[in-house]
Structure 1
Amino acid sequence: MTASGAATTLLVGTADGARLTADLCLPAGDGPFPAVLIRTPYDRRRHRAELRAWAASGFAALAQDVRGRYASEGQWHPYRSEEADGAATVRRLREQPWSNGQVVAQGSSYGAHCALAAALGASADGRPDAVVAAVPALGHAETAREPGGPERLLARAGWWAAHGDRRTSDENALRDALAQDPRLFEHLPVAGLPSRLGRALPSWPHLWAAERDGGLLARAADARLPLLAVGGTRDPFREDTVELWRQWGGPARLLMGPWGHALTASPGPEARPQHRLDLGRLYVRWAEAALAGGLTAGRRGVTALGGSGWWASVTDGPEATAYPFATALRLLGGPGFVADPEHPLRSDHLNVPVAGRADRCLLITPPLPRPLDLLGSAGARLTAAADTPGADWVVRLVALDPRGVADHLATGVVRRTDPAHETVRFSVPLGHLSRRLPAGTRLRVEVGGHHFPAHARNPHTGEDPVTATRLRSSRRSVRLQDSALALPVVAARHRAARVHPAQEICR
């Protein structure tokens, strides 16, 4: 029997004969053991310390290169084969002489997609018994576009440059390309990006052709196994994480911290020492409870209240408080403005032009007279018009501390196809907020027509933004008296009940 911490290689055969390579760490002793499965396109060898930690806690731990990546055979087609390959690997684990038959699928980002694809697969014998999904990339279409339609350009370009259509990764590919051409994303069409990166990316057009069909979320309600969904309030997939938890049919737990996509490795400035968690130890504790049947039915969750040392229970939150644009906020610019894709509202900084033609509707609140807790879903209700039949609408919420330092809180973006010049009413979701704002903070609200380069520019010509080669400006107007910001304000601080994160998700 392999000693605790030592890794061996396990090859898993698939239906078409491709062999998938994995590293396996077993605990000391003869077993039987439960197993943890990590499937990744980012090189299984990166997980060796993680495998040893699982083995030290009594779990057999396997990290596998997905099909066509690193040491695994086959062709690499993102999101295409993970359900079948995951099921084949789960079955192989259960056949091992050291196995007690229980398997936990664990993964982060694309690895979370792999774990969920196996967990929600059609093959009952290929499903794991529990799943840990951190900052999940739910699918092709879900990662390509916002729910409201606009294309997630920067994030997808970075991922495809680093990992798309290649056996191994080049994490610096996009950075190097931008160093050579800082205006890389400004060149049209977006579909021509591979040629500007200097290599073939045959899967790039297929990314944008993918359509949202519900995917994993559509099957989540039928799930019966336990789920732990882990996310960050600064992660671009935070709403996917929350929605997965809300839709899950089995026992579901949510952990949201003041982190980016790398979770505890990328804390936001609002993080406090109490938000430093040992996620590995927490995963072990949750997996033990899940496999032992120790989790209560239904959904429970916990979120860090950034800017404080608190962790709070996740509920539907307080009823949103409306802040009318016309009375609760002071107008600084607009309400008429020009959304010019040649000079778009930028996503990579929070600077506001002080001169020239207005490029956004800009509003601000008075300084907060006392600390304010925001806990729940935020949004904006706009009544507005564009002189083009195709228009994206962006709402960005920024906190200005008493010194005037800007901090991004939330951004929402939706695509509209209303008739030109027609005034319409619509909502722009801003997603989950969990923040404490100190007294003296002012909230800045920006309403614009682009959010570039995070999102592709709407050309306002009626063409697909991915293939468009022409751009035109769009005149916009916001009717202030019929527009409002909706915030999940906790009326008194003591109403946000403090909880212990591990205790909350493991019961």
Structure 2
Amino acid sequence: MNMLRQRLSRWIQARVLQGVVPGPHDIAIRKNLRVPMDDGAELLADLITPLGDTDPQLPTIVIRGPYGRSGPVANQARALAREGFPVLFQSCRGTWGSDGVFTPQIDEQRDGIATHRWVRKQPWCTGSVVTYGPSYMGFTQWAVAGKLQNEDPANAPDALCLLVTMPDFGAITWDNAAFSLRNALGWTQMMDRMIHRQLLALALGQLRPDGKLRKAFDALPLADGDRIANGRRVHWYQDWVAHERLTDQYWTQQSHTASVPDVTAPVFMITGWYDIFLPWQLRNYAQLVEAGRSPRLTLGPWGHISRGMGAPTINESVSFLREHFTGAPSTRVAPVRAYLTGAEHWHDLQSWPPPGTVTDVRYLQSEGGLATELPEGGTTRYIYDPADPTPALGGPSLQPNSGPVDNTAHERRDDVTVFRDEPLGAPVTVAGEPVARIRFRSSQPSADLFVRICDVHPDGRSMTVCDGIRRIGSIGSAATDPEPDADGFREVEVRLWPTFHRFGSGHRISVQISSGAHPRYARNPGSGEPAVSAVTLHRATQEISHDTPAPSRIDLPVWSS
């Protein structure tokens, strides 16, 4: 029977983690270990250990997350154990049998620290302890690593494997002051169903569009979204929509960005060009480099839950850990591996962005062009109506379909403006964070600027490359809003998602501007009222200036390989 279970487990792993060859070890699982916290709560964990002779130099791996101890991440934990690593997989406070109430992000530092101290005292601990995991399981790593390194280095992680993650979920919840509605409310519905064990509704929600969630996306005020999606209030969602300022203590208490440079342990990062956390993860990478660390980074053609990321995640994590703890030879020729979209091949780089990028300034022309020459002036106008909000088309999300989409039909909308250059005579490679600087005026007190770069193919397809948003005139943006000039125009800087993309010869670079991407971001009612309670929608006339001395433009980081 045990042999049959092992074979079945290996078969499931091979199916779920495509491209991962199960390691040589069979595994044993001790379920529901009770890990004591400092306040007396006990969190449940499963211990997955390899059977047979293993290398005693291999570290013990700790994974902490709220999504249960079965499913895709459990398969990753078992894959690591089959490679010889003992793995402790723990459910966060208030989830899957662990004591307490789940309040996202708030308790992870204290609970993580207590867990690390407990693990090192266990007889099965190999002596070294590392952390691993994607998304929220990455946040739980950042929550403890820097603080322990500063205050209790003997219990700090000896290495971190950080996968599609970041240390400050407030920054993505209110992305440049725009509320990330689709992710925030969709995740809230999913987690609330998990906590209340509504497993059938949870499963159906993964298989087909959820009518309640679609209705909730359109709800006003925003505070009603959780009630419509879930049939009840969810305390953390209410906190999220009520705290627009990232400087509020609610958000600062759960941000671990400042402690990133304190992490001295080896770090491996993996992410994708279409991941929801990409900009912040690359800024964390830059923090580590600036602090003199040597993080390893892989950037692939993936979204947040792309199946194609499974094999690189496991294989590269295992290689990274073996290299650092057993002296195995490195499998990398450079610290950074990055997939060049458009050309569809990998590059080995010494750093990110790659050395040698230069800023290529392209000006938005009043007649819809995009050129290196200064425009002759003029204004581009469009109407934004939050009662019929500009819809989101693709873009990074918690869904599997986050990759490039064709924007051709979308760009025909009256509330979307498009600026295109002439067909390129030679390829152009953009590597880094493009920055749009739009001289902008709205007839309403508050407005959003959503900017997207597209690759227009010779056959007419306008395919997404990257995008970004910025809100002005709101409670959350007040401290950073640019001042208007005498004509009421503000130079609004919009930083776009990082990209590594080659525009081929004959292709055209296109810049798309609108004032929303609903429901990816909650529509801006226009009034500047608190988002939690605003219900009245205000139609807005938006204007983009092409007049000197500061005409609207986009700065492209161009790389010559």
TM-score, scaled relative to structure 1: 0.86
Q: CA deviation at 1:232?
A: 0.8
Quick one: structure 1 residues 100 and 6, their matched pair in 2 at CA, closer, same or farther if it must change by over 3 Å? closer
Q: Within the alignment, does 1:36 sit opposite 2:38 as a pair?
A: no
The match for 1:352 is 410
The match for 1:189 is 221
Q: CA deviation at 1:79?
A: 0.6
Q: CA deviation at 1:477?
A: 1.2
The match for 1:422 is 488
Please, what is the CA RMSD of the aligned residues? 2.9
One-letter code aligned to 1:152: S
The match for 1:14 is 37
The match for 2:514 is 448
What do residues 137-178 of structure 1 show as CA deviations (whole Å, max 9, x unaligned)? 4334123111x2111011111100000485246254488774
Q: Within the alignment, does 1:257 sit opposite 2:300 as a pair?
A: yes
What do residues 406-443 of structure 1 show as CA deviations (whole Å, max 9, x unaligned)? 32111111122356961122321113111122222222
Q: Within the alignment, does 1:432 sit opposite 2:498 as a pair?
A: yes
- Contact 2:337 2:347 (8 Å CA) reproduced: yes
One-letter code aligned to 2:96: Y
From 226, 229, 237, the counterpart of 1:204:
237
- Contact 1:165 1:201 (8 Å CA) reproduced: no
One-letter code aligned to 1:256: L
From 452, 470, 486, the counterpart of 2:555:
486
Quick one: structure 1 residues 376 and 295, their matched pair in 2 at CA, closer, same or farther if it must change by over 3 Å? farther
Q: Within the alignment, does 1:153 sit opposite 2:181 as a pair?
A: yes
From 540, 545, 557, the counterpart of 1:474:
540
The match for 1:270 is none
The match for 2:172 is 143
For structure 2, the 5+ residue unaligned runs are 1-24, 371-377, 395-406, 474-482
The match for 1:240 is 280
Calculate percent identity across the aligned residue pairs: 26
In structure 2, distance between residues paired with 1:69 and 1:4: 28
Aligned residue for 2:437, secondary structure, equals strand
The match for 1:273 is none
Q: CA deviation at 1:304?
A: 0.9
In structure 1, distance between residues paired with 2:208 and 2:546: 44
The match for 2:352 is 315
The match for 1:380 is 436
After superposing the two structures, state which structure 1 stretch, 276-285 or 232-241, moved more: 276-285
One-letter code aligned to 1:14: M
The match for 1:127 is 156
Provide runs of 4+ in structure 1 moved above 6 Å.
174-177, 293-296
In structure 1, distance between residues paired with 2:218 and 2:308: 28
In structure 1, distance between residues paired with 2:268 and 2:162: 6
Q: CA deviation at 1:393?
A: 1.2
In structure 2, distance between residues paired with 1:180 and 1:382: 37
The match for 1:287 is 321
Aligned residue for 2:101, secondary structure, equals coil
In structure 2, distance between residues paired with 1:79 and 1:473: 37
- Contact 2:379 2:545 (8 Å CA) reproduced: no
Aligned residue for 2:410, secondary structure, equals coil
In structure 1, distance between residues paired with 2:193 and 2:111: 19
Aligned residue for 1:195, secondary structure, equals helix
One-letter code aligned to 1:110: Y
Aligned length: 475
Aligned residue for 1:121, secondary structure, equals helix
The match for 2:399 is none
In structure 1, distance between residues paired with 2:270 and 2:460: 32
Quick one: structure 1 residues 212 and 302, their matched pair in 2 at CA, closer, same or farther if it must change by over 3 Å? farther
Quick one: structure 1 residues 166 and 57, their matched pair in 2 at CA, closer, same or farther if it must change by over 3 Å? closer
What do residues 345-374 of structure 1 show as CA deviations (whole Å, max 9, x unaligned)? 22136333647xx42332112222233222
What do residues 359-394 of structure 1 show as CA deviations (whole Å, max 9, x unaligned)? 233211222223322222211111121122222111
In structure 2, distance between residues paired with 1:404 and 1:137: 36
Quick one: structure 1 residues 489 and 140, their matched pair in 2 at CA, closer, same or farther if it must change by over 3 Å? closer
- Contact 2:428 2:503 (8 Å CA) reproduced: yes
In structure 2, distance between residues paired with 1:126 and 1:467: 45
- Contact 1:376 1:432 (8 Å CA) reproduced: yes
One-letter code aligned to 1:29: D
Aligned residue for 1:95, secondary structure, equals coil
Quick one: structure 1 residues 407 and 304, their matched pair in 2 at CA, closer, same or farther if it must change by over 3 Å? same
Q: How does 1:65-76 map to 2 (within 5 A)?
A: 65-76=91-102
Q: Within the alignment, does 1:230 sit opposite 2:270 as a pair?
A: yes
Q: CA deviation at 1:327?
A: 8.8
One-letter code aligned to 1:142: A
What do residues 250-286 of structure 1 show as CA deviations (whole Å, max 9, x unaligned)? 43222111100014x167xxxxxxxx95321210111
TM-score, scaled relative to structure 2: 0.78
- Contact 2:358 2:557 (8 Å CA) reproduced: yes
In structure 2, distance between residues paired with 1:294 and 1:217: 32
